Each structure stands twice: as structure tokens, then as C-alpha cells.
Chain A
Amino acid sequence: MSAQKVQAGATSGWQRGGAQAVRRRIVERLVNVLCGIATVVVLFLLFSILWTLVTRGAAGLSLSTFLHSTAAPGSGGGLANAIVGSCEQTMLAALLGTPIGMLTGIYLSEFSHDGKIVSFVRFVSDMMLSVPSILVGLFVYLVVVEPAGHFSGIAGTLALAILFIPIVVRTTEDMLHLVPRAMREAAYALGAPGWRVIVSICLRAARGGIMTGILLALARISGETAPMLFTSLGNLNWSTNLNAPMASLPVTIYQYAGSAYDDWVQMAWTGALLITVAVLATNIFARWWLSRNGTASS
């Protein structure tokens, strides 16, 4: 507001009553109002989603949601197998994807003397960042599920890892770029070999940002549904066997939300509430953490 006052004071054209000045003033006000409305609408949509989830999902929250596996309609049951399946596959995907993603990020940031291939890897990795996740599901289905002859948690884990890696690659590279040059030079001057400089100095300095990237990537893949449909398929029974079809929260939500049974739909809302709270909490935590100790020099 104050900027506008200063501006108004400094400009005689703004205060003049001519038709053009009036038109400019009206357009300016109109744009301000429209932008404000756009912001309010977007916030309202977020609020509406959260409100719907809380009002419809909270009713099904109870201890048995976390203790019992999915069951036939009308016979109670919970989401325990889906929650455990989701956690298992997501965590394993992160375990598999983090080293590969970080090493690739290092490759992009520190090995650019390899020539054109480095920028090609960067290009491909950026493409993979936005490749439709359902295509990753198809890929893993054809490469893992079809030859093996059955759906499995391994396949689900692989699909999630493929989606996980490019996010970590991007953050690692970005964060390594932020490491001050003087820091590397100091390390080299002390006689450290190149890999020690990268691992002990650069990665250490960038760890806040990289951890944030890993958390955001975790949040992103834990909500993925489309690739899981063709890979881990879902499982109504309790199973932690990676070599068998495995339940996951998003797939269970998908199956339940489309069903005709009220208690299944209720359970779908509860699952949706759980996963959204988990994803958003992870996001908020990651951003808070980055703002606290994410800068490369700290």
C-alpha cells in the first residue's frame, strides 16, 4: 500500500483527472482485485480439500485402523497392511534411490569435464523428473512383473525408486552448486584427494539441502498410485513379503473409493486423510528444516 502512495505522490499523471489517467487507475485497481481473488480461490481450494478430508476421514479413525488389515465389506477391518506396505515400499525405494540419485547428482555437478555426456545425463534426468508416472509403471510391469509371472512388492519398490531418483539428482546437483568454491580450494590445499573433498566437504556442507530433497522425494512417491497398480497390485491380506503382491495406501484408497460399500468408502477417506497428513507434514517439516540449516555454508 505504501508503495502505491509514494508512487501516487510522485506522479502527477496518476492524480490527473483526464480520461486516460482514470482508465489507468481503474485497470490497476481491477488487476489488483483480480490477483487477490485468484489467490483467495487457490487458497480456498486447498482449504476445501483439507476440510473434506478431515470431516469425512476423521470418522473412520480408530485404533483398529492401524491394527487390523483390510477386510471384506461390513466386517470391520483397518488399513494396517496398506500402511505397512506403503512404508516398506517407500522406504526401500528411498534406500535404493538415494545413493544412485546422490551419485548422479555428484556426477552432474563435479564431473562436467567428461564432456557432452554430462549435459545429456542432466537432460535425461530432468525428463525423468516429469515423465508420467504411469509410464514408469508400464515399464516396470514389462521388465519385472511379466518375466516373473506375478506382481510383487519388489516391482513396486523399483517403480517408486525410478520416480525417486531424479528428484534427488536435481537437489543434490543444485545444492552442490551452492557450496562455496573457497571451501573446496581449502580442502584441496590441505592435500585431500578429490573424492574426499566431495564426500567430506561438499556433501557435508550441502547435507541440509540434500536431506530436504530426499524428504520431499519421499513425500512425493508415497502418494503415487498409478505405477503401483501395475507393479505391486495391492493385497487385501497382511503381507510383508516383497516377492508377493503388496498392499499400499494409495492403491487401497483407489480400490475402496470406487467401491459400492459405505464402509469401504469411509475407509478410503480415512486412508486419504492419513496419507495427506503424512505427505503435507513431511513437506512442512522439510521446508522448515531447510530454512533452519539448509544453507550450504552452515
Chain B
Amino acid sequence: MMEAPSTTAARGADVSGRNAGGNAGDIAFGMLARLAGWSILLVMAGIIIVLVSGGWQAFSTFGPGFITSRAWNPISHNFGAATSIFGTLITTVVALVFAVPFAFGVAFWLVEMAPPALARVIETAVQLLAAVPSIIFGMWGFFIVVPFMAHYVEPVATRYLGHVPGIGLLFRGAPYGTGLLTGGLILAIMVTPFICSVMADVFVSIPAVLKESAFGLGATRWEVMRKVVLPWSRQAVMGGIMLGTGRALGETMAVTFVIGNSNRLGWSLFAPGNTIASLIALEFPESSAGSLKLSALLALGAILMVISFITLACSRMFLQRGIKN
């Protein structure tokens, strides 16, 4: 996906050099292309302005306390962002905890171990997983994963991990099946293909001579991966992980189905919660135009935008630096 724009300068000169005669076609075409390019800026600026100005009423009513307040009470018109920000971050962290090792494993297997013919088929399958619409993940999660979690995973986890000091706190609570853990797991399945395809691209792009010299010294595949490939591609791998993080942060439908949708903040991963995106999806249809609730939802949208922009900007920076190396 990422293409280093190194050749563009030379290419661009071709067009400008020819324009000296003032060819009407070139001028018109140039204007069209610029108009289209700048319209992207306009749309992005529009999204930012509309969300921030829409959320302004909430920001000014609650002040900076909006971000730290746990309230979400449409009756007393008291709204806060803390629970949904917490849910968003926790589900994303859970997603990464599961997605990164799996994505790495699959990418490592595809690049280093799989027979080429099989690798191509499996790579396509992994990319198809990325193409499945998010609502399908939501339905599948709700009807298949949630009962599985409630009957098997959560009771077992409570029994064996619930008493471990420290992390035991995470695994206590009634096994509803829905909740932060399930939401995070569904997100993990959704972002694994993204992270995996970036990792596989990066692992393939390492100069063969680096790997060959390590193999020549007698290193095993794992040692080559850990001591040569990973250090060499560290930044691009980080970029891929951040890209997956960006996806997980803003994912709506899949999470809405399985998160349980309750305005609650606590340590248990089994308890239902909400995320910014799921809260917006659920509450938006019930909020009237111009109401404080709508403004609070738009303010949440603005916060989500800030979080995802920071993540995506980091991802881009890492990927570009990683690829230039």
C-alpha cells in the first residue's frame, strides 16, 4: 500500500516543462486535477470543523471535566467521555495483545516457511478475512463467539486466572459472554490481516544478502528473524501495528454487537462496556437535533478523531521511515 514517493519529482517535471506554450488542454486538465486534490483537503477540514463545532456545546458546558467524567445520563443531561474512552482503549489493547503475535506468526510462516504455491493461497485467504464486512464480524461474534465465551472461556478463565494476584482482577465477574474481552477479541480477528500483510511485505523486502549471511553463519530461521529481520524492519513493523490500532479504535459495528453496551468503568474484562464508536452508533438515533446529548456524541466523535489521527500519523511516519531504510 505504501509507495515511497521518490520518483514523483522527476515525473512532475515532465508535465510542467511542456506547459510553456500554454496548451489549453494542459491548463484545463491541471485545474481539474488540482481541484480534485484540494477537494480532499476540503472534505477533511469539513469533517474536523463540523465535529469540533458540533461538540462545542458539550465541551463548553462540561469543560475539561468532560473527558474525565464517567457520567452518561440523558435524563439529567449529564454526559462524560471517560467510560467510552476507557472502553475504546481497553478493547484496542486487548485486540493488539492477541493480533500482534498472530499476525507475526502468520507473516513469518508465509514468508519463511510456507511452500510458495501454498503461501499464495493462504495469503489470499488472509486478505479475504480483511475484506469481510465489519457487520458480519458483529453477527458472527454475537451468535457464535459470545455463547462460546460465556460457556467455556470465561468460566475457565475465572477459575484459573481469577485468583492470580494482580491480573486476577481482569478475569472476575459474571460470564455474560458480551463485554470488553469479547469486543477486543473480535477486533483482534479484524485487524490481524492488516498487521499481517504489512509485516509480510516488510519481511519480504529485506535485502536477501542480510538474511543469507546470517544463515551462512549457522543461525536458525528464528534467530535470523529475531536478530536480523526484526531489528532491520522494526519501524515498518511498528507502522503496521499502528495501522491496525487505528482500525481497531474506530471500528463500530462489530464492537456494537458484542460489547454489551453499558456505561461502566471497571477492571473486569468480562463486564459489558462501550466504546466511543459503539456509543455513537447506539445513541445517535435517539438524540434530537440541537440537543446537548447530540453535542456530547459529536464531542466524542471529535475525541475519537484526535486519537485515531495521532495513531495514523505515527503509523505513516514509522512506515515511511522504515521503508526508506
Q: How far is the CA of A238 from the CA of B325 in the complex (A)?
A: 56
With both chains docked as a complex, state the minimum distance between the C-beta of A102 and any C-beta of chain B, in angstroms.
8
The answer to whether B26 and A114 touch across the interface, beta carbons within 8 angstroms, is: no
Q: Which of A58-66, A72-80, A220-228, A239-247 contacts B (4 or more CB under 8 A)?
A: A220-228
The answer to whether A132 and B43 touch across the interface, beta carbons within 8 angstroms, is: no
Return the chain A residue nearest B308 by Cβ.
Answer: A132
The answer to whether A284 and B47 touch across the interface, beta carbons within 8 angstroms, is: no
The answer to whether A194 and B15 touch across the interface, beta carbons within 8 angstroms, is: yes
Residues of A within 8 A of B231 (CB): none
Q: How far is the CA of A222 from the CA of B136 in the complex (A)?
A: 12
The answer to whether B33 and A35 touch across the interface, beta carbons within 8 angstroms, is: no
With both chains docked as a complex, state the minimum distance between the C-beta of B138 and any C-beta of chain A, in angstroms.
8
For chain B, what secondary structure do more than half of its interface residues adopt (helix, strand, loop), or is it mixed?
helix
Q: Which of B164-172, B173-181, B264-272, B279-287 contacts A (4 or more CB under 8 A)?
A: B279-287
Return the chain A residue nearest B55 by Cβ.
Answer: A138
Q: How far is the CA of A222 from the CA of B133 in the complex (A)?
A: 8
The answer to whether A37 and B135 touch across the interface, beta carbons within 8 angstroms, is: no
Q: How far is the CA of A233 from the CA of B301 in the complex (A)?
A: 19
The answer to whether A39 and B8 touch across the interface, beta carbons within 8 angstroms, is: no
Q: Which of B3, B11, B33, B128 contacts A184 (CB 8 A)?
A: B11
The answer to whether B23 and A165 touch across the interface, beta carbons within 8 angstroms, is: no
Return the chain A residue nearest B34 by Cβ.
Answer: A107
Q: How far is the CA of A142 from the CA of B142 in the complex (A)?
A: 31
The answer to whether B26 and A108 touch across the interface, beta carbons within 8 angstroms, is: no
With both chains docked as a complex, state the minimum distance between the C-beta of A52 and any C-beta of chain B, in angstroms.
6
Q: How far is the CA of A194 from the CA of B280 in the complex (A)?
A: 47
The reply on A48 being an interface residue by CB < 8 A is: yes
With both chains docked as a complex, state the minimum distance between the C-beta of A115 and any C-beta of chain B, in angstroms.
10
The reply on A84 being an interface residue by CB < 8 A is: no
The reply on B5 being an interface residue by CB < 8 A is: yes
The answer to whether A111 and B33 touch across the interface, beta carbons within 8 angstroms, is: yes
Q: Which of B133-147 contact A (CB under 8 A)?
A: 133-140, 142-144
The reply on A263 being an interface residue by CB < 8 A is: no
The reply on B160 being an interface residue by CB < 8 A is: no
Return the chain A residue nearest B3 by Cβ.
Answer: A174
The answer to whether A53 and B250 touch across the interface, beta carbons within 8 angstroms, is: no
Q: Are A230 and B284 CB-contacts (below 8 A) given A28-B220, A177-B3, A198-B15?
A: yes
Q: Are A225 and B8 CB-contacts (below 8 A) given A45-B189, A127-B309, A132-B249?
A: no
Q: How far is the CA of A7 from the CA of B252 in the complex (A)?
A: 48
The reply on A112 being an interface residue by CB < 8 A is: yes
Q: Which of B9, B46, B106, B134 contacts A42 (CB 8 A)?
A: B106
The answer to whether B124 and A284 touch across the interface, beta carbons within 8 angstroms, is: yes
Q: How far is the CA of A229 from the CA of B135 in the complex (A)?
A: 12
Residues of B within 8 A of A123 (CB): 316
With both chains docked as a complex, state the minimum distance between the C-beta of A195 and any C-beta of chain B, in angstroms.
4
With both chains docked as a complex, state the minimum distance between the C-beta of B297 and any C-beta of chain A, in angstroms.
8
Return the chain B residue nearest A128 by Cβ.
Answer: B44
Return the chain B residue nearest A191 by Cβ.
Answer: B18
5 contacts between A and B (CB under 8 A): A4-B221, A38-B101, A138-B298, A195-B28, A279-B131
Q: Which 8 A-B pairs have the closest CB atoms?
A: A132-B250, A223-B133, A38-B105, A103-B36, A195-B29, A11-B218, A107-B37, A112-B12
Name 10 extra pairs, CB < 8 A, besides A142-B50, A170-B1. Answer: A42-B129, A109-B8, A111-B12, A112-B11, A113-B16, A118-B8, A121-B37, A181-B10, A194-B26, A257-B139
